[in-house]
């Protein structure tokens, strides 16, 4: 047998990608955000977690797997947590950096005396605060099959296998070769197979892809696009947004009650997700989180779009609101 460490010379070419720097080279690299949460819960031996009603249901995967007690908490109209309960020493509270625009809230939460977990899945560019357990889900920001970064105070001594992700790449390839619509079925399947996996180390492919990204360019474009939308839409936006700390956010969160905004946008090939369908099952129709899930329009602002694309969305929305 040959040694894997002996560099191969010759043979066919692989995919040629730029060799740049990762954004978080010193964080722990895992397969998914939910498994990063599992790591934190396990290594701290938490017995109970408080999570927001307004989040993605896949976070329940590690909680249920470990048999940890969980309770939901509510948000105020600024998306800040309403903490009217006591968090004991073996308990923790998870807060999501919503749309990447809630860093100021996280800064305040770190001054309080309880175990905080920061979910930065929607805030790739928000660096972790010293000593605060924080995780990221890389595919929410870039064309990747999976991948998570984790900052954890405590380190696990477990030896995790490395993930392999080449067979979850089809949607990324189809959307280049054909259209984003043609790749959508594959996207859903590749998303599904991320469920119920053990904690694994990030795949070599995902790591390689993360080294091919110009992060500064992506961050600058997101900031510019966010500001363009905010300038034109903030008056109609029911969410009040402090733009002073904007740092490569996920999307522009536009909250307005108008029938069928999303359906009309989709008919113009503007695709906006629902954050999050599970919230309808977890809440009653009178709750703010239910209203958010129903009416929030997360407008895309990422590196794929220029000023003209922003103007196109603004024009559509101005005709609707």
Binding-site ranges for ligand PLP (CB under 6 A)? 32-34, 55-56, 58-59, 96, 119, 121-122, 137, 148, 194
For ligand PLP, give the closer residue by CB, 147 or 310: 147
Closest CB to ligand PLP among residues 126, 137? 137
Whose Cβ is closer to ligand PLP: residue 228's or residue 293's? 293
Please, what is the minimum distance in Å from the beta carbon of residue 148 to ligand PLP? 5
Report the SS3 class of residue 29.
Answer: strand
Among 25, 41, 64, 62, CA closest to 156: 41
HEC string for 295-314: HEEEEECCCCCCHHHHHHHH
Task: Say if CB 23 and CB 207 are below 8 A apart.
Answer: no
CB of 70 to ligand PLP, least distance (A): 14
Nearest distance from C-beta of residue 55 to ligand PLP, angstroms: 5
Using CB atoms within 10 Å of the CB of residue 87, give its burial: 0 to 12 exposed, 13 to 18 middle, 19+ buried.
middle
- The token pair at 184 is 């959508």
Rg of the chain over Cα atoms, rounded to whole angstroms, equals 20
Query: CA 278, CA 168: separation in Å to the nearest integer?
Result: 24
Considering the complex, what minimum distance in angstroms separates the CB of residue 33 from ligand PLP?
3
CB nearer to ligand PLP: pick between 117 and 317? 117
Rounded least distance, CB 310 to ligand PLP, Å: 24
CB of 115 or CB of 122, closer to ligand PLP: 122
User: Tokens at residue 103, please?
Assistant: 């860093």
Closest residue to ligand PLP, judged by C-beta, is 33
Distance, in Å, from the CA atom of 206 to the CA atom of 138, rounded to the nearest integer, reads 9
Within a 10 A sphere around the Cβ of 61, how many other Cβ atoms? 18
For ligand PLP, the closer of residues 239 and 317 by Cβ is 239
What minimum distance in Å lies between the beta carbon of 86 and ligand PLP? 25
């Amino acid at each position: 047998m040959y040694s894997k460490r002996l560099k191969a010379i010759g043979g066919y070419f692989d995919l040629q990608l730029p060799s740049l720097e990762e954004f978080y080279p010193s964080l722990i690299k895992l397969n998914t955000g939910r498994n990063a949460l599992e790591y934190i819960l396990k290594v701290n031996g938490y017995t109970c977690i408080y999570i927001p009603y307004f989040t993605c249901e896949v976070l329940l995967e590690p909680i249920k797997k470990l048999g940890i007690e969980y309770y939901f908490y509510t948000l105020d109209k600024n998306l800040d947590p309403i903490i009217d309960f006591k968090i004991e020493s073996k308990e923790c509270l998870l807060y999501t950096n919503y749309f990447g625009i809630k860093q100021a809230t996280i800064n305040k939460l770190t001054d309080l005396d309880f175990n905080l977990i920061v979910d930065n899945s929607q805030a790739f560019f928000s660096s972790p605060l010293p000593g605060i357990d924080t995780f990221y889900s890389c595919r929410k920001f870039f064309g990747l099959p999976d991948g998570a970064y984790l900052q954890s105070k405590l380190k696990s001594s477990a030896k995790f296998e490395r993930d392999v992700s080449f067979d979850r790449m089809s949607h990324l390839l189809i959307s280049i070769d054909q259209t984003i619509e043609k790749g959508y079925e594959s996207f859903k399947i590749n998303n599904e197979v991320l469920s119920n996996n053990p904690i694994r180390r990030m795949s070599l492919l995902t790591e390689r892809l993360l080294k091919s990204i110009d992060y500064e360019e992506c961050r600058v474009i997101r900031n510019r696009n966010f500001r363009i939308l905010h300038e034109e839409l903030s008056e109609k936006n029911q969410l009040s947004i402090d733009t002073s700390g904007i740092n490569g956010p996920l999307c522009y969160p536009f909250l307005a009650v108008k029938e069928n905004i999303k359906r009309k946008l989709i008919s113009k090939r503007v695709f906006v997700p629902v954050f999050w369908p599970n919230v309808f099952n977890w809440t009653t129709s009178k709750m703010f989180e239910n209203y958010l899930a129903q009416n929030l329009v997360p407008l895309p602002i990422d590196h794929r779009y220029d000023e003209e694309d922003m103007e196109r969305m603004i024009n559509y929305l101005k005709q609707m609101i």
